[in-house]
Amino acid sequence: MVTYTVLADVNEQEFQNPQELVTVWGEIRADIERLGGELRESYALIGDYDFQLTFEVEEEDAAIQIAMAIERHGLDTKTMRAMSIDRLGELVDDV
């Protein structure tokens, strides 16, 4: 499985109160699972972005579909492929 991380910023025009965001997270989790992914972690952030979540998928196409699904919920996102430090060390050792 390939890991992706998403940095999300709330579009304040889409949400009237924090309770609406709680509802959205359940819908996002369902979308990720429906599209063949598995939600691993999610965090509220202090800084340039409001939330961070990590998911795993088998195929890149599913990652693109998940990124688009998250955007449809009123979040501005930046999605990136992630790699564990251990795996990076293995690649460096092979060079």
CATH number, position 12: 3.30.70.60
Q: How many residues does the chain have?
A: 95
Residue 78 sits in which domain range? 2-94
CA atoms of 33 and 95, how far apart (whole Å): 36
Average pLDDT per 10 consecutive residues for the chain, totaling 95 residues:
93 69 86 97 90 95 95 92 84 71
Neighbour tally for 63: CB within 10 Å: 23
Interior angle at CA 1, CA 8 and CA 63, nearest 5 = 40
pLDDT at 10: 83
Nearest to 37 by CA among 18, 70, 69, 63: 63
CA atoms of 63 and 71, how far apart (whole Å): 13
Look up residue 65 and give its two tokens: 């579909």
Domain count, the chain: 1
pLDDT at 33: 97
